[in-house]
Structures are given as C-alpha cells and as structure tokens.
Structure 1
Amino acid sequence: MHGHVEGRELSLLWALPLVGMLGSIAIFPLAAPHFWHHHYGKVSAFWALALLVPFAATQGFGAVASEVVHAALLEYVPFVILLFSLFTISGGLLVRGNIHGSPAVNTTMLALGTTLASVIGTTGASMVLIRPLLRANDNRRHNAHVVVFFIFLVSNIGGSLTPLGDPPLFLGFLQGVEFFWTARHVSIETAILVAILLPLFFALDHWFYKREGYPPKPDPTPDSALGLSGLVNIPLLGGVVAAILMSGVWKPGVEFDILGTHVPLQALVRDGLLLALAGASLALTPKDIRERNGFDWEPIREVAKLFAGIFSVLIPAILILKAGTDGYAAPLVALVSDEAGNPKPAMYFWATGLLSSVLDNAPTYLVFFNLAGGNAAELMTAKADTLAAISGGAVFMGALTYVGNAPNFMVLAIAKNRGVNMPGFFGYMAWSFGVLGPCFLLVTWLVFL
C-alpha cells in the first residue's frame, strides 16, 4: 500500500509556497521583466521544491510521492497534453490578410471566438484568433482593452458549453458528467454574460476609437483580403474532439497502478492520440504558414513550466479543501452549505469561482465537485443547480486573473510580444473585477438565488 497525506492534519501554513508562487507571477513580470523572462522556470521550480522537500520530510517521502504522481498523471499531464495539442494544431491555421480593427469588426471577431471556444476549446479559439485580432488593431493607440475583453470572452466565458471548451469541464467529463450536460444547464448564464459583455465592449471600443487622435498611426499591416490557410488542421481538430469523446464512452475496465494512482487505459489512448494529432499537424502544415502566423513555442512552454509549479504547490491546498469539515477549510465548507448540510448554489458559484481565479480552475473544480458529493449521476440530476454553479464559477471566473486559466497566459504572452501595452497582474484585476464583478452578481441574482 502506498501512503496518503491526510488533509485534515495539514496546517494552512502549507499554502505559503502557493502564495509565494502566485506572488512571483504577480510581481516579477512588472518589477524584474528581464529576470522573469529568462528564469520563470527556475522560479516555478524553486517554489515547487520549497513545498515538496519539507512536505516529504514531515509527511513521508512515499506518501508525498504518491500525491505528486496522482496530481501529475491524472491532472497536470492530461491538462498540458490537451493544451499542447490544441495550441499546436490551431497554430497551423493561418487567417490570411488583414482588416481594419473598427468597433464593429472587433466585436464580430470576439463573437466568433466566443462561439468557437466551446467547439475547439478556449485554447484553440484563442490561438486561432488572437493574432488576426492583434493585426487588425496594430495601428490603434488604444488596443489593450481589446485583448482584455478577448480574454474575458474567448479565453474563458465562451468555453462553458462543452468539455472541449475549458479544462475544468474536461475534468468533469472524466468524472462522468455527460458531454452535452453543460450545454443544457449553463447556457442561460453564458447567454446573459455574452449579451452584456459584447455590447459593453462595442460601446467602450467605440469610445476609444473616437479618441485615437490625428494624424492616425501608420498601419504596419495594411488592409488586405481575408483567407484561411492550413486547412489540413481542421480535420485534426475534429480528431481532438473524437479522441476526447472516445475517452468518455469507451470503458475497457483496464487500469494501471502507478504508486497508488489508477490510470485507465482510455486516458492513455486519448493522450497518445492527442500527441499523434499534434505531431501530424507539425508534419503536414507547411513551415511558412507557422512562420507567417508568428507561431513559436514560448507561450505553451511558459504555461507548462508555470503550471507544473502551480500544480505542485496546490497539493496541500487541495488536500485541506478535500478534508472538508475535518480540516482547516471547515469554515469554507460551512459557507457553501445550509444548516441541514444541503448545498447553496450561489455560494458554490462564488467559492469555486474566486478560488479558481487564483488556484487554477481545473483542480479547483474537482475539489468542489467532490465537496458537493462527487457522484456525477446525482450532481447531474438532484443537484443540477449545484453542478451548474460549480461549472459556471470555474469557467467564468477563470477570467478574473491571468493565472485563472491557461489561455489567459498564452494570450498575454503573444500580445506583449506584439507590442501591446498590457496591464500588469493587478491592473488586469482592476479591469476584471470592475467589468465582470457586477455581471457575476447579476447572474447570481437571476439564476442561483
């Protein structure tokens, strides 16, 4: 038998490396950008070791190794492989040409990306459309707000309708939630947010557009006809959809025990297929298409290194939350339940959401999924409101910070690389809480109370 770390025995002090990791992500890019760009992987490794070494010394090497293997094999590795495949395949799709980034054009592109996000994932939609959107607005003096709303809608909210859309829903699918369940139960909340945010963006962009000043800034990429290259990647994206559906439908009952973690055969086949599809994209897509797309590996490299650290330092925080009323997270458990122990959907929405914005939304979704009972059949029926609240909170509020969802970081990296003066960690939060906070309060009032 492999050991297991008991969350009810863990002090909140074990969450300090997580605080350090998030603090580093917030501060270093602003205070020491050159250092961060060259050493973010080392910073991530430092905080992971700052947790794991004393954690193993006090809790036992075998028990901690078992927890690390569990987090890696069932959460981090599938998470990164899915992002990698979508990033690679979508990076082979080149939207040729350029159009002028007027308020109407920008709003149309955000609407298109929001729709695509649940089909090819928030990562796929973000990578396909962020570069054309940046080219359309590269002559605008005020364009950071375009990227901010892109992160709100395309990188997060648009991915709320299928397991392909966002990693938390993918993890829910692996737990037994039906593929189209969220499309049926979270669509109203999504529609409310989109109906508010798209017109709000149009009004704001129109206001900035009128204040661009004269003479206009020279356009480094003049307007030209639109087209689409790299069409071979479209069926490959279909293959990603098929691989994920396969892993939810095919249950051969074969598992591999790795340090106490049971890895099902269908998960290994799925991940192998996703890597093969990414490899096919690299082999079949002409190199000049990726070059013209400005494709490079840095965004996915940054996500992989930083989230390796985040998933590591998350381990004790997740264990404390899983301990429920027996651990130091007991006040949080009491917060999301009434006196009879029944879940309060509104509180689940906010607790899942706010923690998702700083703890990464995929593992946080799993914690509250388990906190609400962990039985997919029950959560999809008798506790449907609670599962909808957990799903909406994890997906929507991943937009509140740059670390809430992996595509946020990718879009930020690409935008900064293209010269957009993006807000810093806390500056972005001023935008997100100022714009999205009232929207989430309205959704709570209309749906979850």
Structure 2
Amino acid sequence: MLLINSNPELATEIPLWPSIPFFIILLAIAVGPLIAEHWWENNKNKLIISTVLSVPTIYYLVHMDLTEHLKHQILGDYLPFIVLLTSLFVITGGIHLSGDIKAKPKVNTFFLGIGFLLASFMGTTGAAMLLIRPVININKQRQFSVHTILFFIAAVANCGGLLTPLGDPPLLMLYLRGASFTWFFSLLPEWAFVGVLLLTAYYFIDAYYYKKEPAANLSADATEIKPIRITGAINFIFLLGVVFSVAFINHDVIPEMGEENAPYWLKHLREIVLIALTALAYFTTPNKIRKSNKFSWGPIVEVAVVFIGIFITMTPTLIFLSQHAPNMGLTDPWHYYYATGFLSAFLDNTPTAVAFHSVASSIPYADSIPLVANVAESILSAIATSAVFFGALTYIGNGPNFMVKSIAEDHKIKMPSFFGYMIKFSLIILLPIYILTQLIFM
C-alpha cells in the first residue's frame, strides 16, 4: 500500500473547532435566503458575514504558522475560481437570444437539450442565463410551464456541466488540483445517461401538459411567432478563447508555470489572459445587448464576496480532513458519491467537492490503482459526478438554481417553495435517476 497525500504532514494535529466559522458561513448560505431574504439580498451584508467569519480564521492560521495553506487557498484556488467565473459571466452576458416560436414539447425539449450541451463549455450559469428568458418567452402563452423551469434547473443549470472544468465550479477546483482538462470527458457515459433520462422524462411530461392546455392558449401560441435571433455573436469567439485558455495554459502544457521560482505573471498567465478576454468582451459588446439581458454585476459580486469567506474559512477544515481521512470509513466510490452528493445539495457543491477530494487524497491506495489528482480515478469520478448532479436537488445546491427561480418569478411563473421543489420534483424525478446512475456506473 502507498500513502498518497496532497498536503504536507503537520507536526501539530489540527482540532475541529477552528472549522466553526466555515460551518457558520455554509449555514448562512443555506438558511439566509429562507429566513432573511431581503437582508440577505444585499451584497454588503454578505461581505460583512464573510469578513467577520474570516478574521478569526486568518488569526488562527497565522498563529499556527499555516500561512502557506492560506496563501494557497487565496492565490491558488480563489483567484482562478473567481476570474474564470467572471469571464464566463461577462462573456455570456453579451450574447442575447430573442424570438418566440411554438412551445411544442419537441421545441421545448430541443431548447433544454441545447442548454444541456452548452453547459459544459460556457458554464451552467452562462448557459442558464443565455436560455432561461427565451424559454420563458416561448412558453408565455402556455398555462402549464412550471415543470419546464424545474427541468431547466436540473438539465441546464446543473447536470449538463459535467464534461469540462468550465461547466461547474467544483470541477474547476478538481482541475486546479491536478485533473487534466480532457479527463472530464471520461465522465461522458454518466453525462449522456442522465441527460437522456432527463430529456426523455421532460418530453413525455410536457406532452401530457400540452394536451391539457386550453385551446385559446395554443391558438395564441401559434399566432405570436417571432424568428429566433442571436445578437452579440462576437462573444462566442471570446468564449472559445476561455476554453483554450483553461485547456492549454496550465502546468501540463507549460511546465514552467509550476516552478517555485516562476515569476508571478507566469504562474497566473491563465488568469491574465482570461481578464484580457473579459475586458475585450465587455468593451466590444454594445450596451443595448447587455440591457436586453438585464445584465448587472450583482450576481458575480455576490459570488465573489461569499466565496472569499468560504475559501478562507475552509482552510482549517481541509487540513483537519487530510489528517483524519483514514479514520472516516469512506473507501468505495459509492460512499463518496452519496456523501458528496447530499452535502452538495444542502450546502454548496464547490467546497463540498474540495473537502471530499481532500479526504480521498489522504487515504492509502495500492500501487496498481490509477490515480488522478492524487485520488483513485473511480473515487474522483464519483466526487465530480455527484457534486454536479446533486446540486439540482435543492434551490441552494448550485448558484444558478436560485437565479433561474427568481427570473421565472419575475415573469409571473409561480414556482414551488424550497420544500415544494424537493417534494414535487427533485425527490421523485432526480433522486431515482441519480441512484440508477450510481448502480450502473459505480
């Protein structure tokens, strides 16, 4: 047996209590929108929470001479994370899709399928924000449209993003820990299996509701037709630049980036290129396109202020997990699949995936077991797959979920409550699909 550990061993064992700020910030993310919705909407309040909880963690890490771990969290994880999300957010915010065609089941299924395909390459947030308003507009004459939004959250805002590090933030974190850009394509069978089941289930459910539509609604839907039109298409070039930057500007292609004495600009060359692409996209896109998309900086600012607190406060937790991983009893891929999945659903899938990667990278493996990012490949597949898929189990499992819900409600679509979403949709549609995925692939 060979012990594989991604973190250097510490002379002093870290207790669990320094992780309290991390647990508090995750709890705030989970319950804040439910018990103090209007207060939590203010990004300044989120920044206050992040700052207040980060200060004691920083003090502890400095006092324990663990500043290198903190530095890695901020410069090695948070900086690439927020730069990539900002670039995807700004670039996709400059692409506007307009028009209104017949809201037949095959048309709706086609749009969800396109979103499912795009999610891996423009991010679940980008694909969701690009398509949610056209989907709502196409279905505005229909009486029954809530099920379309629910399946949209599952397929486009979550499950579709499994194939590349661009698709979902937890995958980016695994990429930064050593999984190659192309390794995520190995998850194609799970991605395709879940996609086919979701889209097939949606088609038959939508066909059922289509037959129940009042004749007047279907008549209005057939007469109010506008061709589909894309504006801001130049941003697809910038989006392609993001894909190539993440795929080829890394330690594998440019080994000098990983050298300890490499200049700062070389270590963060990928982020520099992404910032340049973001600036080009922002200044070359006409303002009227962003206005059509109702573009604002609020959502990405929210992510920035919340996740700086998450990345700082989770540092002691990651160290603790690395030190105690062999005693946790997590050995098989399905253990990691459900542990990562259910915590992703109720906390946030990015720190959850990072935490379980830390556990998995600190347990012994036989020499014959293939490793990816210092983790058994089968276990990493389970962590990545469940972090992405299970994010759709609740509104708070993944960032785009609440954004899609809010946009739908702005268009007078009555969405289910937090628990209503689970009872009426995720537990009866998604969970059986996820269990079947585990039984077949893990």
- Shorter chain as normaliser: what TM range? 0.7 to 0.9
Matched, 1:400 2:393: yes
Equivalent positions of 1:41-440 (< 5 A) are 41-46=44-49, 48-56=50-58, 60-61=62-63, 63=65, 66-184=68-186, 186-213=187-214, 216=217, 222-248=224-250, 249-253=253-257, 265-325=265-325, 330=327, 333-334=328-329, 336-337=330-331, 344-373=332-361, 378-379=371-372, 383-430=376-423, 431-440=425-434
Give the TM-score normalised by structure 1: 0.83
* SS state at 1:95 partner: strand
With over 3 angstroms needed to count, the CA separation of the structure-2 counterparts of 1:179 and 1:70, relative to structure 1, is closer
With over 3 angstroms needed to count, the CA separation of the structure-2 counterparts of 1:254 and 1:17, relative to structure 1, is closer
Alpha-carbon distance, 1:440 to partner: 1.3
Which structure 1 segments of 5+ residues have no match? 338-343
Alpha-carbon distance, 1:207 to partner: 3.4
Q: Deviations 1:322-366 (Å, cap 9, x if unpaired)?
A: 22347xxx4xx31x22xxxxxx11112112222333443334333
Letter in structure 1 aligned against 2:284: L
Letter in structure 2 aligned against 1:349: Y
* Paired residues of 1:247 and 1:267 also in contact (CA < 8 A): no
Alpha-carbon distance, 1:114 to partner: 0.7
* SS state at 1:323 partner: helix
Structure 1 window deviating more from structure 2 (281-290 vs 349-358): it is 349-358
Give the TM-score normalised by structure 2: 0.84
Matched, 1:441 2:442: no
With over 3 angstroms needed to count, the CA separation of the structure-2 counterparts of 1:36 and 1:390, relative to structure 1, is closer
Letter in structure 2 aligned against 1:206: A
With over 3 angstroms needed to count, the CA separation of the structure-2 counterparts of 1:131 and 1:156, relative to structure 1, is same
Letter in structure 2 aligned against 1:100: K
In 2, the alpha carbon distance for the partners of 1:381 and 1:49 equals: 32
With over 3 angstroms needed to count, the CA separation of the structure-2 counterparts of 1:371 and 1:34, relative to structure 1, is closer
Matched, 1:10 2:15: yes
Alpha-carbon distance, 1:57 to partner: 5.3
Letter in structure 2 aligned against 1:356: S
In 2, the alpha carbon distance for the partners of 1:27 and 1:371 equals: 26
Alpha-carbon distance, 1:64 to partner: 6.5
With over 3 angstroms needed to count, the CA separation of the structure-2 counterparts of 1:312 and 1:135, relative to structure 1, is farther
In 2, the alpha carbon distance for the partners of 1:384 and 1:281 equals: 37
Letter in structure 2 aligned against 1:238: L
Runs of 4+ residues over 6 Å off in structure 1: 3-7, 374-377
Letter in structure 1 aligned against 2:147: H
Aligned partner of 2:37 in structure 1 is 33
Instruction: Provide the alpha-carbon RMSD of the alignment.
Output: 3.3
Structure 1 window deviating more from structure 2 (235-244 vs 21-30): it is 21-30
* Paired residues of 1:55 and 1:64 also in contact (CA < 8 A): no
Letter in structure 2 aligned against 1:439: I
Letter in structure 2 aligned against 1:122: T
User: Percent same amino acid among aligned pairs?
Assistant: 36
Letter in structure 1 aligned against 2:302: E
* Paired residues of 1:7 and 1:322 also in contact (CA < 8 A): no
In 2, the alpha carbon distance for the partners of 1:79 and 1:296 equals: 20
